[in-house]
Amino acid sequence: MIEAVSQGKRLERATDASGYVEAHEAFRRASDQAERIADWFERHRLLDLRAGVPAVLSVGTGGGEVDVHLIEALRRKGAFVYDALEPSGDALGRFRTRCEQFGGVPGGVWMNEGRFEEFESSLRYDLIHFVHAVYSMRNLEEALGKAFRMLREGGSLALVCCTDEGVNAFLRDVLREVSLPGRTGTMPEADLIAALSTLSGGEQRFELVPSEIAVGACFQPGGRAGHLLNFLLQADSSQLSARERAAVMDALHAHSVERDGNRWISQPMLAISVRKAAPATRRVRLGVGAGASVGDLAEVACLGA
């Protein structure tokens, strides 16, 4: 049994000296995840919003790797409001920079620093999405209930999270040999599905979205290789002992495949969309008043189940 990391420094999500920014950037370059997620939004027509000026809320925007793709698609359709909500001001700064690289921050994009639990808005949104943001929710059931209430009738809630396969299967093997504080190699799929079951009046659709990460660089010496390995472990890999590193690399080799001169590890994602039922129109006959020869007809709107 390999000894635990005695003083392993866990990478924090915020941009700080622990190197999360460099680690995430290495992951972004090596992964097709952002494009795969954006494609899922397009295929399920989640960006085909109502006429007028639709509103979108992005929860846990991070550096906006996915959001810039969604914003570009929305810009082609017309005017919109896009609220980006992220607890890290540094991450919002990276999102702004990324928007500028795409031609500037559109007038309808608003940067909001804070947590979803405390966020309030007078808007009713046509789309609210949590892309890898459910992990940080303090109470998942309450968060999804709040999001559902913030939707317009006919609006959609979209959620994307990693599954227990691929990278997380690799992590579970690593954790048998190496102690990585705070890491479990499991995702809250069951908790998420249980929380979704409490929502009423919505059509739910589930899909597994494939994704891959090119990890060949991890088997080569150099700073970039270290950054990518840091991201996969969410820990400072430079503090691994020689035996621990060997165990990590053996596990990574076992869970990746060679193709096109590189090695690839899968990172499948669970993507869920919930459409809030629009009012359904039903004709009902009202009571006949004195002297009336026919019943009056009225249109009443009732929420579909």
pLDDT at 4 over 70: no
H or E, element range at 58 = strand 55-59
Q: Is the pTM of this model over 0.75?
A: yes
Alpha-carbon gap, residue 240 to 247, rounded angstroms: 10
Partnered with residue 281 across adjacent β-strands are 301
Range name among 16-25, 119-128, 244-253, 255-264 with the lowest pLDDT average: 16-25
pLDDT digits 0-9 by tens, 152-169? 999 999 999 999 999 999
Segment 199-216 mean pLDDT: 92
Domains of the chain (ranges; CATH) run 20-287+294-303 (3.40.50.150)
Lookup: tokens for 228: 């990518």
Q: What pLDDT, on the 0 to 100 scale, is given for residue 297?
A: 29
pLDDT at 227 over 60: yes
Range name among 94-108, 123-137, 193-207 with the lowest pLDDT average: 94-108
- Region label for 233, one of left (φ > 0), alpha (ψ between -120 and 50) or beta (otherwise): alpha
Segment 106-127 mean pLDDT: 93
What ranges in 180-280 are assigned the alpha helix state H?
A: 189-196, 223-233, 242-255
Alpha-carbon gap, residue 63 to 83, rounded angstroms: 14
Alpha-carbon gap, residue 285 to 218, rounded angstroms: 71
Alpha-carbon gap, residue 280 to 100, rounded angstroms: 42
Whether 74 and 100 have beta carbons less than 8 Å apart is answered as no
Q: What pLDDT, on the 0 to 100 scale, is given for residue 5?
A: 30
**Alpha-carbon Rg of the chain, whole angstroms?**
23
Q: What pLDDT, on the 0 to 100 scale, is given for residue 280?
A: 60
Alpha-carbon gap, residue 273 to 254, rounded angstroms: 33
pLDDT digits 0-9 by tens, 139-155? 999 999 999 999 999 99
Residue 303 CA: distances (Å) to CA of 22, 50, 145, 272: 48, 18, 17, 22
Segment 78-96 mean pLDDT: 92
